Amino acid sequence: MPDTLPDRLLVWYDRDARTLPWRGLTDPYAVWLSEVMLQQTTVAAVIPYFARFLARWPTVESLAAAPTDAVMAEWAGLGYYARARNLIACAKLVTQWRNGRFPEDEAGLRQLPGVGDYTAAAIAAIAFGQKAVVVDGNVERVMTRLHAVQEPLPKAKPRLKQLAAALTPDLRAGDYAQAVMDLGATICTPRKPACGICPWQEPCEGRRLGIAERLPAKLEKPARPIRFGTAFWLTDSKGRVLLRRRPPQGLLGGMMEIPSTEWSETQPADPTAQAPITADWRALPGEVRHIFTHFQLNLRIMAAKAGPGGRPSGLWVELDRLGEHALPTVMRKLVRHALAKAY
DNA sequence: GAGGCGTGGAG
DNA sequence: TCTCCAAGCCT
């Protein structure tokens, strides 16, 4: 029995009691779905979404046939909504042009919308057993520590891919890929890695040099700016609230929203000039803060009742049916705040 | 290639 | 409260 590094890791992986819903699944559809959901998203966040999607749309054909709004609403809260738009496009492409079959090699998978280098390699390895080099943030962190790579990311990426390729085994490439990622997620963590129980502690150069926890080195990120705006909580005589659909591309693209002013560097002097209708707008106390990847958003709320005259563009939605709509988390925060302060 | 693109959990 | 950042992709 050879005792290579991949072998040691696979022994650890096979003994690990941690069971993730997608572990052991090789259906390309399920693998693809889980990998897309896991892009930049924690395991804990993905688990309930993965279960709901698979229960509601068990095949790529069923997902392709689903109304776009239903998919976006089911994705609401998971973030990075371009993934959901690409998910739909990819399901339709695979269904209509490939008879529901996913490409079986990296190059073919790489052509699918929303499938980049990482996801293509992951699907090829996990669903099709191919010896693909799977490199995500976990793999990069593990490789930098194992080999004490001190060059900062992202410059070190090519080197890290080489190091990952040199370790990738011919057999069980899918299990191996998941094992490295599990190692990074549970033991070789960004902070306070549990080196004492790591199956790779003996060969780890970063640990030997006492620098593992400081790796990988990264370049500094720019400060996060703050943007301001005012949202408009408009209700009608039937107790419904006005929603709008956001533009199909860009931030929260294709999702629903509470109408608001533009989000700018300073609070608009007269927010009501940008309100959906002219009305007796009254400011609610407090504000809603939300952190996006590249800026912080501080939103005030103004509320009004629509008279019989106003004909704002948008969608009137019953308060108890807001949950059925594709409202991203920042909009759900607004709803909660408005309901607490306006009644 | 650098920046846009969500969210929630951990420390 | 604040910082970090996670199984990345697209332009």
**A335-CA/C8-C1' distance, Å:** 30
**A140-CA/C8-C1' distance, Å:** 13
pLDDT at A2: 65
Distance CA A338, CA A343 (A): 8
Q: How confident is the model at residue A336 (pLDDT cuts 50, 70, 90)?
A: very high
Distance CA A22, CA A248 (A): 31
Look at strands A296-305 and A288-291 and give their pairing. antiparallel
Q: For A184-211, how does the pLDDT look when each residue is reduced to its tens digit (9 = 90+)?
A: 999 999 999 999 999 999 999 999 999 9
**A157-CA/C11-C1' distance, Å:** 20
Q: Indicate if A35 belongs to the active site.
A: yes
Residues 225-284 of A with CB under 7 A from strand C: none
Is the C-beta of residue A45 closer than 7 Å to nucleic acid chain B? Answer: yes
Question: Residue A47: which H helix or E strand, with range?
Answer: helix A43-56
Half-sphere exposure of A83 (CA within 13 A, CB side): 20
Exactly one of A35, A106, A140, A257 is catalytic; which is it? A35
Residues 6+ apart with CB under 8 A from A33: A50, A53, A54, A87
Distance CA A12, CA A26 (A): 21
Is the C-beta of residue A118 closer than 7 Å to nucleic acid chain C? Answer: yes
pLDDT at A174: 95
Sign of the dihedral through C-alpha A251, A252, A254, A257: negative
Is the C-beta of residue A75 closer than 7 Å to nucleic acid chain B? Answer: no
**A241-CA/C6-C1' distance, Å:** 35
Give the residue extent of every domain in chain A: 5-214, 226-341
Find, among A149, A158, A154, the residue nearest to A214 by Cα. A149
Token pair in block for residue A236: 């009608």
Q: For A126-156, how does the pLDDT look when each residue is reduced to its tens digit (9 = 90+)?
A: 999 999 999 999 999 999 999 999 999 989 9
Q: For A15-29, how does the pLDDT look when each residue is reduced to its tens digit (9 = 90+)?
A: 876 689 999 999 999
Which residue is closest to B10 in terms of CA–C1' distance? A191
Is the C-beta of residue A35 closer than 7 Å to nucleic acid chain C? Answer: yes
pLDDT at A17: 65
Distance CA A37, CA A50 (A): 8
Question: Residue A317: which H helix or E strand, with range?
Answer: strand A315-318
Is the C-beta of residue A227 closer than 7 Å to nucleic acid chain B? Answer: no
Specify the fold of A226-341. Nucleoside Triphosphate Pyrophosphohydrolase (3.90.79)
SS3 category, A218: strand
Distance CA A82, CA A113 (A): 10
Q: For A210-266, how does the pLDDT look when each residue is reduced to its tens digit (9 = 90+)?
A: 999 999 998 888 889 999 999 999 999 999 999 999 999 999 999 999 999 999 988
SS3 category, A199: coil
Instruction: Tell me which nucleotides of strand C come within 7 A of a protein CB.
Output: 3-10
CATH class of the structural domain A5-214: mainly alpha
DSSP codes joined into one string, A226-248: EEEEEEEEEE-TTSEEEEEEPPS
Instruction: Tell me which nucleotides of strand B come within 7 A of a protein CB.
Output: 2-9, 11
Q: How confident is the model at residue A287 (pLDDT cuts 50, 70, 90)?
A: very high
A28-37 vs A43-56: helix crossing angle, rounded to 10:
140
